[in-house]
Structure 1
Amino acid sequence: MDMYSMVSQNRLLGILRNVPLEKTVDYAEAAVRGGVAFFEVALNSPHALEQITLLRSHFGDRCLVGGGTAITVERCRSAIAAGAQFLLTPGTPLDVLSYCAAQNIALLPGVMTPTDVAVCLEYGYKTMKLFPAGSMPDHYLKDLKGPFDDTHYMAIGGVTPDNLHHLIADEGYLSVGLASSLMPKDAVAANDWETCEAYVRDLVSRLP
């Protein structure tokens, strides 16, 4: 249920938000060849459920595929039915926390405040995503972990190629998630997947 093992073993999460359906496999293949095998498909994107099913079918055990923006129980059910192996939320909707805990569903809940963290701990989730991490001052996570020393975090929101090393090496995040900055938009638009692969490989090389 808790995602510590999954997150600690995959330092970079590739977030697919509004990626055109016809580019889904090529986009993910470029990321996998570049060294990323951990994906979130944002459930408020067009064709999200189709993309989850498509990625699971295409890659099998070669990568992990989850559903993000799982802000309602209905979305959770739909994503799991489509093949999602884990879920993510931007906040702490109690019905989602309760549902996923009861169903033993791997969930990475989104937090920002000590209250958010305390709520997640009540439901058994010790590994969370801090959102928006890029908007937080340096040392925020270390201060947050002071009273919550048995918790772990992924940084999402405002993560860039320039700060991902700093967030993990200096700030103490287990991993980071990248959406629009995972690949250059012009290369994606041109279906230049070799450039995309090289770009992702460079990102992975920056991880500590």
Structure 2
Amino acid sequence: MTTLNEKLQSLKVIPVIAIKDANDAVPLGKVLVENGMPCAEITFRTPAAAQSIKNLREAFPEMLIGAGTVLNSETVDLAIDAGVDFIVSPGFNPTTVKYCQQRNMPIIPGVNNPSLVEQAMEMGLTTLKFFPAGPSGGVAMLKSLTAVYPVSFMPTGGVSPANINDYLDINAVLACGGTWMVPADLIDNREWAKIGELVKEAVAALK
């Protein structure tokens, strides 16, 4: 069975998506799958998140689906009930981490300094989100962390076509989270063809 880390490593980029209308989830998922990006991190920044995940899971059973911006145990429950494969949080909240572990749900919490990496490792976590990547020192900071700690990272926040391969060149980086191929305005306006082009370009640009 393929592990979550192996799946992330093969995908290299995870689109981070905020969906306002759950009816848009399946058309968007179709665009992602058909253009070589069969994955999504649906953020709980909108009330439509849980239903969007449910819709995606039903339409695309093989798709790798994460729940992002998960801030508490209640949201963990919503995400699991909706059918996610993993949880992502912007910061490191030990309570949320413990709850995910109790429910046997992988969580990739956000860290951006040595102390947080060590706290995460203390709880048995070896895959972490480096967030916000750009404002936290970018590639240089991440190289410093990976030189010290035996963990894998998923940088998110400030990742773009201009720097994604710099992040992916770091051995400890499994994949990057990004929004540039799924702009909110294009989703709101249901411009699926334009999103398809951006997704195709993002996949083609990967080394």
* TM-superposition CA deviations, 1:33-72 (whole Å, max 9, x none): 11111211111312111001000001111x1111111110
Corresponding residue for 1:140?
141
* TM-superposition CA deviations, 1:76-134 (whole Å, max 9, x none): 11110111111001111111111122322111111101111111111111011100112
Corresponding residue for 1:182?
181
Root-mean-square deviation over aligned CA pairs: 2.0
Alignment of 1:68-79 (within 5 A): 68-79=68-79
Is the contact between residue 133 and residue 157 of structure 1 (CA under 8 Å) also seen in structure 2?
Answer: yes
Corresponding residue for 1:198?
197
In 2, Cα distance between the equivalents of 1:147 and 1:12?
24
Identity of aligned pairs, percent?
A: 27
Corresponding residue for 1:10?
11
Unpaired segments of 5 or more residues in structure 1?
Answer: none
- SS at 2:47 equivalent: coil
Distance 1:172 1:101, change over 3 A: closer
Residues 122-131 or 135-144, more deviating: 135-144
What amino acid does structure 1 have at the position aligned with 2:52?
Answer: Q
Is the contact between residue 19 and residue 52 of structure 2 (CA under 8 Å) also seen in structure 1?
Answer: no
In 1, Cα distance between the equivalents of 2:186 and 2:18?
16
Q: Does 1:84 align with 2:68?
A: no
TM-score (norm 2): 0.90
- SS at 1:84 equivalent: coil
Alignment of 1:26-175 (within 5 A): 26-61=27-62, 63-135=63-135, 136-148=137-149, 150-169=150-169, 173-175=173-175
In 1, Cα distance between the equivalents of 2:115 and 2:70?
20
In 1, Cα distance between the equivalents of 2:40 and 2:164?
17
- Superposed displacement of residue 22, structure 1: 2.6
In 1, Cα distance between the equivalents of 2:81 and 2:189?
33
In 2, Cα distance between the equivalents of 1:43 and 1:130?
19
* Matched residue count: 204
- Superposed displacement of residue 206, structure 1: 1.1
Residues 160-169 or 109-118, more deviating: 160-169
Residues 41-50 or 13-22, more deviating: 13-22
In 2, Cα distance between the equivalents of 1:73 and 1:184?
28
TM-score (norm 1): 0.89
